[in-house]
Amino acid sequence: MITLIPVDPAVHGARIARWLRSAHVTRWWGDPVGRLDQFEASGPGDHAIIARDGTPIGYVRWETVDPEALAAVGLDGIPAKSIDIDIFIGEPAEAGRGAGPQALDLLFKHLRETTDAPLAGLCTSVDNHRAHAAFLKAGCERLTQFDDPAFGPCYVFVRYLR
């Protein structure tokens, strides 16, 4: 069973750092140092460990979008108060086993109950086909494509919360 459990930096920090440095994560997430800074800056209600039967297997974080930052890369159609989500499965043996879509479903439910966000979105490289399939399986739709300054051509997937 997939669950989202609260992040305890003292307990989970080293594991997340290890995952962020692994090749299968850095391929899509980029520089682990910058991502570790994001992890450390996340509040207790802004990220979670993805667990299968209580064992940590991945990580998800979310934040309210910055409309100015989105407009700077040509994404000016995303409504204010929308949520940006970053997710990865850190344990390579767990990739492709359905944990990502299940974790996203849990997160979408949580966001519907705790925010007034109109939608939640995820961005990934046009080449990250495994992520595309997971996002679609979680009920997302591909909204648009844009050129990310760090990652190149990316798709935006969204799921409407309202």
Burial class (CB in 10 A: 0-12, 13-18, 19+), 78: buried
Residue by residue, pLDDT tens for the chain (162 residues) are: 999 999 999 999 999 999 999 999 999 999 898 898 888 888 889 999 999 999 999 999 999 998 888 888 888 889 999 999 999 999 999 999 999 999 999 999 999 999 999 999 999 999 999 999 999 999 999 999 999 988 999 999 999 999
Q: 12: domain range?
A: 2-160
Please calculate the CA angle 47-151-36 and round it to the nearest 5 degrees: 35
Q: What are residue 158's DSSP bridge partners? A: 121, 141
| Domain of residue 116, CATH code | 3.40.630.30
User: Between 9-21 and 32-41, two packed helices, what is the crossing angle to 10 degrees?
Assistant: 160
Query: What pLDDT digit, counting tens, does each position of 106-131 carry?
Result: 999 999 999 999 999 999 999 999 99
The reported pTM is: 0.94
How many domains would you assign to the chain?
1
Q: What share of the chain has pLDDT > 90, as a percent?
A: 80
- What is the Cα–Cα distance from 32 to 156, expressed in whole angstroms? 22
